[in-house]
Amino acid sequence: MCGCGNKSFTTESTNDTESRFIDMKRDYYEVLGVGRDAGAEEIKRAYRKLALKYHPDRNQGDPEAEDRFKEAAEAYEVLQDPQKRRIYDLQGHAGVEGTGFRGFTRQEDIFGAFSDIFEEFFGFGAGRRARGFGSEDGSDLQYDVAVSFEDAAKGTEMEIEVPRLEVCTECGGSGAGDGGKASTCPTCRGTGQIVRSQGFFRVASTCPHCSGRGQIISNPCPRCRGEGRVTEKRKVKVRIPAGVDTGSRLRLRWEGEAGIRGGVRGDLYLVIHVEPHEFFERRGNDIFLRMPLSLVQACLGDEVQVPSLDGPQTLVIPPGTQTGATFRMRGHGVPDIRGFGRGDQIVEVTVSIPTKLTDRQKEILREFAAIEKEKEEGGIFRKFFRRFEARSESERKDAAS
């Protein structure tokens, strides 16, 4: 595991439709605690158990229980639907999102989707609760994470510390101090807007008295100053999937800033920055490595040990290998982030020419050159110049004609 360098912290709009990201979700079968061959009744029973455990009426003010409640509902929505389940088994979360299903961001949506289920489970209505007036969803956050080349290729787990807005524990998010309550704004009468008529048009603007909240806090909480939220540093465990690359964006759902007055918590986006490797270079899902060979190895051939992400691998070098020759080691590259197999490792060899020779080595090379001269009838350079002269003569004849 490596540390996080060059960390930054910014709020981010939720309407970023052009950027691509990887949604950091747990496996739906793992969420419900069932096997991949589980039947419909087993899935339903598992969801009932989790819905009962994390129901908001039994866990008021517990954001973690709220997240688990939404997570279980999302898993059940997919696995109880044969078509969505089939797509999920084949393509994972990305395939389900391709159908238009994005999960649940509000508890009300869950109660609405499964109203009959909740009534069957618990013997009472859905328990749907509207968010308070003036509620506001929390902002998404962006956090830069540096990972090593090996961790990006193999995947890893790490813990990061994120400063974010949390619900004020002093006032419970109400913004009022000493157990007080907010009162209806007398200017806008709780609507949060001032409507003015201009000819045939009616123009609405944010109420300047309550800033659009519709409520006035006469005695604000001293800790959050009436905001209902305070900035705190939170440790978040992150699983970096194998195959990420620089620019990959991971989304951790409901790890952003807390909402205001019952608003939904935002998401946390991690932007990956992969540190360069001393020897390896990534090209798509393939890994490129340039490796030196001695003159003797290149001429006579050899079996050499090549470093890889999976440890040293044996590579057979055939006799007469030239500088620039490449060898492909199948399946030793980077796993595809979408689960479509794994790349290869490409090894390019460079023949290292010795710069300092002993007298004996020089003598051996001269003998070798003499043999080559007899064998090649003047050597390789004589043949090269003969071909060059023949080409030049042909070009002169073509020019003359």
The confidence score (pLDDT) of residue 58 equals: 73
As a CATH number, domain 280-352 is 2.60.260.20
Nearest to 353 by CA among 301, 293, 306, 300: 293
Q: Does residue 124 have a pLDDT over 70?
A: no
Average pLDDT over residues 218-229: 89
Average pLDDT over residues 7-29: 52
Interatomic CA distance for residues 293 and 251, integer angstroms: 45
25-39, 85-99, 216-230, 340-354: which range is least confident on average?
85-99
What is the pTM assigned to this prediction? 0.58
Q: Does residue 121 have a pLDDT over 60?
A: no
Q: Does residue 132 have a pLDDT over 50?
A: no
Tokens of 98: 């391709």
The confidence score (pLDDT) of residue 7 equals: 40
Cβ neighbours around 344 below 10 Å, total? 19
Are 213 and 192 in contact by the 8 Å Cβ rule? The answer is: yes
When comparing pLDDT for 311 and 200, which is higher? 311
Average pLDDT over residues 93-117: 67
Nearest to 142 by CA among 68, 248, 26, 245: 248
Q: Does residue 123 have a pLDDT over 60?
A: no
Q: pLDDT-derived band of residue 201, with 50, 70 and 90 as boundaries?
A: low
Q: pLDDT-derived band of residue 107, with 50, 70 and 90 as boundaries?
A: low
Tokens of 262: 């019952």
Domain ranges of the chain: 9-166+232-274, 280-352, 359-400
The per-residue pLDDT for range 49-76, each reduced to its tens digit, is 898 888 876 777 677 888 888 888 889 9
Listed in sequence order, the residues at least 6 apart from 203 whose beta carbon sits closer than 8 Å to its beta carbon are: 195, 196, 197
Q: Does residue 9 have a pLDDT over 50?
A: no
Interatomic CA distance for residues 248 and 19, integer angstroms: 10
The confidence score (pLDDT) of residue 3 equals: 43
Average pLDDT over residues 77-92: 89
- Tell me which residue has tokens 């019952």: 262
Torsions phi, psi for 140 (to 5 deg): -75, 155
Residue type at position 289: L
Cβ neighbours around 324 below 10 Å, total? 10
Q: Does residue 366 have a pLDDT over 50?
A: yes
Chain Cα centroid distance, residue 343:
19
When comparing pLDDT for 204 and 291, which is higher? 291
Task: Let me know the angle formed at the C-alpha of 266 by 91 and 226, rounded to the nearest 5 degrees.
Answer: 170
The confidence score (pLDDT) of residue 6 equals: 40
Are 259 and 138 in contact by the 8 Å Cβ rule? The answer is: yes
Q: Does residue 302 have a pLDDT over 90?
A: yes
* Residue 292 DSSP SS3: strand
The per-residue pLDDT for range 368-394, each reduced to its tens digit, is 888 877 665 555 666 666 777 777 767
The confidence score (pLDDT) of residue 108 equals: 60
Q: Mean of the per-residue pLDDT values for the chain? A: 81
Task: Let me know the angle formed at the C-alpha of 152 by 255 and 349, rounded to the nearest 5 degrees.
Answer: 170
Chain Cα centroid distance, residue 20:
9
Interatomic CA distance for residues 132 and 234, integer angstroms: 26
Q: Which of 127-141, 155-169, 255-269 has the highest mean pLDDT?
A: 155-169
Residue type at position 291: M
- Tell me which residue has tokens 């440790």: 235
CATH 1.10.287.110, domain 9-166+232-274, yes or no:
yes
Q: Does residue 172 have a pLDDT over 90?
A: no
Percentage of the chain lying above the pLDDT 90 cut: 40
Nearest to 73 by CA among 122, 112, 17, 129: 112
Average pLDDT over residues 115-140: 55
